[in-house]
Chain A
Amino acid sequence: MRTFLTMLGIMIGVAAVVMMVAAGQTVQNEITKTFDSMGTNLIIIGPAETVSGGVRGGRGRPSVSFDDVESLKSLKDVETASYVVSADAQAVYESNNYGVNIYGTTPDFLIVNNWEIDQGIMFTERDFKAGKPYIVIGQTIVNELFGLQNPVGKTLRLKGQPFTVIGTLKEKGDGLMGNDQDNIIMMPATTLRQRIRGSYRPKYTDIAFVKVTEEDKMEAVANRIEYQLRARHRLKEGADNDFMVRLMTDMVEKVRSVGFILSALLAAIASISLVVGSIGIMNMMLVSVTERTREIGTRKALGAPNRWIMFQFLTESILISFIGSFIGMLLGVALSQIGGQILDKEVPISIWSVIISVSVAVVVGVASGLMPAIKAMKLDPIEALRYQ
């Protein structure tokens, strides 16, 4: 019974480490997957952050115009570029209505972000130039407004204006922040500007994307973009950029390192329970040595060498930590897989987390069994025989 409880300590420790590392890995994988779907050889250009009196004040005024982005397409090593002007609106179809995000963009948006059309078609360059009222809608809108009907060819209303659905987007699932990436209506940016915003504001983008041909050209392209935009914006030497250029690869690195720190932190917390478990082994073995003092004395009197006594106790603690960590490993793997099933996520089991946690448990178990074993070994047989 006591042996089992001690084993339980080690079991929980190992299971916790395996599970926590698996959880951390899962988070990391999800992040990576999301980024991969966006494509990593992407450069993102947004408005500069406003800085007043040393305080960062979020996004500044949009400064990158449609034409700026168009001009970037001709830069070396640029595959294509696109941008988004966004708006919110209520989409109405017959008696249904639903709040949606509208992306005013260019046909190349699909290429840049690795998005795909499910049914119908994307609007063309010609549609864009003409500012046609054509829209491509996400799956959430398909479900909310059209149900089982085929939406292609139907007309829905945004801000009182009719728009024709010419295509639907493939389902993408939730984004990194839990936002619904399928609750989107895409239309030419020109159309959005004229019909939704109804403004005569200059043609500025909220965010622009540049797709680079190869990942190792990212830095070079980013520099060219900066040079080009500064020239176009007629910025004097020494003046701050009125835009911001970010590399997707850098962002991926950042988020990945956050994920890694998360995994490490979880593992560190879990290994505390592993240490507690091994202290349990030491405690039990010490009690056992005291309880069996007479037996040790008898064995020694009958010719047991000191080595033999030490190995007897050491074997016991090795066995406990080994069996305990093995069961703990199975438990950890099983529980994390069950958890994965419930959350509908793929949970990878890192073979290293298993190997390391089991070997740490065994090493720590042996180390904590060593002290009691040496204590048993050093017992004086005369004293031990007299012990009550």
Chain B
Amino acid sequence: MIKSTPVIEVTDLCKTYYMPGGMSQSVLKQINFSVSAGEFVAIMGHSGSGKSTLMNILGCLDRPTGGVYKLDGMAVSDKTDSELAHIRGREIGFVFQNFNLLMKRSIADNVSLPLIYQGVSERDRYERAVQMLHKVQLDGYQDRLPTQISGGMQQRVAIARALINNPKIIFADEPTGNLDSITSDEIMNLFTDLNKQGITIVLVTHEDDVADYAKRMIKIDDGKKVYDGPRSKYNGKDAPY
């Protein structure tokens, strides 16, 4: 699958933490891959494998210590903090394991939160929040508080929030980790629908049945990529492809 510009292009990506006393720990070692527009990728790995660190770098929350990361053709490694914030606000949507909604704000406020930092007027924010809530089948909930709805609904609010800035890509970090299996299926079906509409999704999980929704799988173990290919062909053996 070769396409014009990959949304994500990672070359020799390294992340090393230097600790006081000269000790250092390599969390990511020479990772290479690219993600094209419209893909649905699951990044898998045990806890401590480095998948969360990879996710933070891909989500522009952290910087690599080596290698090149290009988001939509743009090198991210040498950006300043505020430039990264700008990129996060416009190019990326986040869905977190624990939703991270502001509990004292209305659902509409929560959904439209990223737009505040882009200077969108309050009225436009509200309108766009209502549109996004429609996409996640939460029509009519805009004026409620997050505390008044179930966990599955809260995650759908978080997904609407991730969608509101028309991002190039959505990163979902264990989005079903706090949900029961039925609600998890609902959320994953929602992601599948969004992917069918052409939105690129990168999912981080350690659960196999959640990963099954993805078309492609990247497995990380001990900071190295050990599998990259179609999810359906993964045979459970961590052999280099």
Q: Do the two chains belong together in a single complex?
A: yes
Separation of A285 and B85 alpha carbons in the complex (Å): 24
B117 and A305 within 8 A (CB): yes
Q: Per a CB cutoff under 8 Å, which of B82, B94, B165 touches A306?
A: B82
| Chain A residues, CB < 8 A from B82 | 305-307
Would you call B88 and A301 a contact (CB within 8 A)? yes
Judged by a CB distance under 8 angstroms, whether A297 is at the interface is yes
Other-chain contact of B61, A294, A295, A307, A382 (Cβ < 8 Å): A382
Q: Which residues 366-387 in A have Cβ within 8 Å of B in the complex?
A: 381-382, 385
**Known contacts A294-B100, A295-B102, A382-B61; A303 and B56 CB within 8 A of each other:** no
Classify the secondary structure of B's interface with A: helix
A299 within 8 A of partner (CB): yes
Q: Is the CB of B56 within 8 A of A382?
A: yes
A303 x B102 contact (CB < 8 A)? no
Contacts of B118 in A (CB 8 A): 303
List residues of chain B with CB within 8 A of the CB of A307: 82
Docked-complex contact B161 and A303, CB < 8 angstroms: no
Residue B46, interface by CB 8 Å: no
Q: Give complex CA distance A124, B128 in Å.
A: 98
A299 to B117, CA, bound (A): 9
**Complex: A300 Cα to B88 Cα, angstroms:** 8
Say yes or no: B61 contacts A303, CB within 8 Å: no
Asked whether any CB of chain B lies closer than 8 Å to the CB of A302, the reply is: yes
> Quick one: given A295-B102, A298-B100, A298-B102, are A303 and B86 in contact (CB under 8 Å)?
yes
Cβ B89 vs Cβ A303 within 8 A: yes
| Residues in A151-171 with C-beta less than 8 Å from chain B | none
Give the contacting residue for B100; candidates A297, A304, A305, A382; CB below 8 A: A297
Bound complex: CA A297 to CA B101 (Å): 11
Q: How far is the CA of A185 from the CA of B61 in the complex (A)?
A: 92
Once bound together, how far apart are the Cα atoms of A381 and B61, in whole Å? 7
Judged by a CB distance under 8 angstroms, whether A308 is at the interface is: yes
Q: Which residues of B (11-43) have their CB < 8 Å from a CB of A?
A: none
Chain A 247-283 against B: per-residue CB contact (8 Å), 1 yes, 0 no? 0000000000000000000000000000000000000
A299-B113, A385-B96 known; A304 vs B85 contact (CB < 8 Å):
yes
A308 to B117, CA, bound (A): 8
Q: How far is the CB of B219 from chain A (nearest CB, A)?
A: 22
CA distance A310 to B192 in the complex (A): 38
Q: Is A306 touching B85 in the complex (CB atoms < 8 A)?
A: yes
Query: Is there an interface contact between A303 and B117, defined as CB atoms closer than 8 Å?
Result: yes
Interfacial chain A residues near B175, Cβ < 8 Å: none
The 9 listed contacts between A and B (C-beta, < 8 Å) are A298-B113, A301-B88, A301-B94, A302-B114, A303-B87, A303-B90, A303-B165, A305-B81, A382-B56
Excluding A302-B114, A382-B61, 20 further A-B contacts by CB distance (< 8 Å) are: A298-B100, A299-B113, A300-B85, A300-B88, A301-B59, A301-B61, A301-B94, A301-B96, A302-B88, A302-B113, A303-B87, A303-B114, A304-B89, A304-B116, A305-B85, A305-B117, A308-B117, A381-B61, A382-B62, A385-B96
Chain B residues with CB under 8 Å of chain A are 56, 59, 61-62, 81-82, 85-90, 94, 96, 100, 102, 113-114, 116-118, 161, 165
What 6 pairs across the A-B complex have the smallest Cβ distances?
A303-B89, A298-B100, A302-B114, A305-B85, A303-B88, A303-B117
